[in-house]
Copies of this chain bind each other. A is one copy, B any other.
Amino acid sequence: MRIVLDAMGTDDAPRAEIAGALEALSSFEDDVEIVLVGDRDTIEAGVARHGPIPDRLLIHHAADRVTAADSPASVLRKKPDSSIVVGLRLQQEGKADAFVSAGSTGAVMAGSLFILRPLPGVARPAIGTILPTSEDPCLLVDAGANVDCKPQHLVQFARLGHTYVQDLMGRPSPRIGLLNIGEEPGKGDELTLETHRLLAEQEGLNFIGNIEGRDIIRGVCDVVVCDGFVGNVLLKFYESVAAFIVGLLKRELKELGEGSQDLEHVFRVLDYAEYGGAPLLGVGGVSIICHGGSPPKAIRNALAVAAQAVRSGMVGHSARNLSRAVRAEE
């Protein structure tokens, strides 16, 4: 298996990428190769600082890189030699099995849509994100790829999340919750009212009904389905609140001169780096999006997620599961 890693994505590129890739290779199974895509000289120099280049670390040159100033929609046309476009093409041409990038989310999304193409019947590929809960983590779909969704889009998010949780999180019958403002089926806005009706009709989905904002942290479901507007606001809010509270407490504990290290595992629950990247779901390939500020650990974990997605056959399962939905609606 070969995983492409965009070497020019993080704020600290390519340092964080190189360190993350080396960590991954030292712990992954032997059949995994990692292809760093980006400026060859810079990458080679960066890797050399760690020692000789390992056998399973390949370097593929890309002359250009996407910056924050680039409009995501124009990247394909204007930056065909960027690490994102070059990296995604390797997968499309069958020369790699997965793509991981901490570059511009919009550019990775646009590139994945145009190069890997949506799976048959998928109107809106979506971003999944792992959220920590008081029980096992859950998957939120959509975390921001689509606003102004229609009910049938949310049904697809549910199916995509279902397969991801089965294949990547090892849960045989993922509980699907529809994020709403009340538990009763009659609660909600136009979108969630109709989505509830459609989800209740689907076959092969363990739809547990509406869930409220307060239920997420209780871990009542494995997949939280929502419009990308709500998902994006919620995700950014969660990350910031966790960081705020952890910061507050670390300061307090420092003043008290005690215990900070003992609480590290509590803080870890709230650390996004633990959960690797966010998968783009509903495209014909594996595409994992990481934070721009990802440390090597987050890159390593995203590479592990990519490897597991390939190994489990997630993309094929997604296509098959989506086709069930289409049949059910006909």
At the interface, yes or no: A28 with Cβ under 8 Å from chain B? Answer: no
User: What's the nearest-Cβ distance from chain B to residue A290, in Å?
Assistant: 17
User: What's the nearest-Cβ distance from chain B to residue A131, in Å?
Assistant: 10
Say whether A234 contacts B234, CB under 8 Å.
yes
From B147, B234, B242, contact of A233 by CB (8 A): B234
Give the chain B neighbours of A19 by CB distance below 8 A.
none
> How many angstroms from the CA of A134 to the CA of B242 in the assembled complex?
12
Looking at chain A's contact residues, the main secondary structure is helix
> How many angstroms from the CA of A204 to the CA of B216 in the assembled complex?
39
From B213, B229, B249, B270, contact of A181 by CB (8 A): B229
Say whether B245 contacts A181, CB under 8 Å.
no
Give the chain B neighbours of A214 by CB distance below 8 A.
236-237, 239-240
With A147-B189, A189-B147, A229-B230 already in contact, the answer to whether A240 and B213 are too (CB < 8 A) is yes
From B148, B180, B213, contact of A234 by CB (8 A): B213
At the interface, yes or no: A1 with Cβ under 8 Å from chain B? Answer: no
Say whether A181 contacts B262, CB under 8 Å.
no
Which one of A43-51, A165-173, A250-258 contacts B?
A250-258
Give the chain B neighbours of A263 by CB distance below 8 A.
249, 252
User: What's the nearest-Cβ distance from chain B to residue A256, in Å?
Assistant: 5
Give the chain B neighbours of A216 by CB distance below 8 A.
237, 240
Say whether B232 contacts A213, CB under 8 Å.
yes
At the interface, yes or no: A200 with Cβ under 8 Å from chain B? Answer: no
At the interface, yes or no: A114 with Cβ under 8 Å from chain B? Answer: no
From B217, B228, B245, contact of A237 by CB (8 A): B217
Give the chain B neighbours of A217 by CB distance below 8 A.
237, 240-241, 244
At the interface, yes or no: A248 with Cβ under 8 Å from chain B? Answer: yes
Give the chain B neighbours of A269 by CB distance below 8 A.
248
Give the chain B neighbours of A190 by CB distance below 8 A.
147-148
> How many angstroms from the CA of A242 to the CA of B240 in the assembled complex?
12
> How many angstroms from the CA of A147 to the CA of B233 in the assembled complex?
16
> How many angstroms from the CA of A212 to the CA of B233 in the assembled complex?
6
User: What's the nearest-Cβ distance from chain B to residue A92, in Å?
Assistant: 28
User: What's the nearest-Cβ distance from chain B to residue A160, in Å?
Assistant: 20
From B147, B233, B258, contact of A258 by CB (8 A): B258
Give the chain B neighbours of A253 by CB distance below 8 A.
259
Give the chain B neighbours of A212 by CB distance below 8 A.
232-233, 236
Which 4 pairs between the two chains have the least Cβ-Cβ distance?
A213-B236, A213-B237, A147-B189, A214-B240
What are 16 A-B contacts defined by CB distance under 8 Å? A188-B229, A192-B229, A213-B236, A213-B238, A213-B240, A214-B239, A216-B237, A217-B237, A226-B233, A233-B234, A237-B238, A241-B242, A245-B270, A248-B266, A252-B262, A253-B259
Binding site for B on A (CB under 8 A): 134, 144, 147-148, 179-181, 188-190, 192, 212-218, 226, 228-230, 232-242, 244-245, 248-249, 252-253, 256, 258-259, 262-263, 266, 269-270
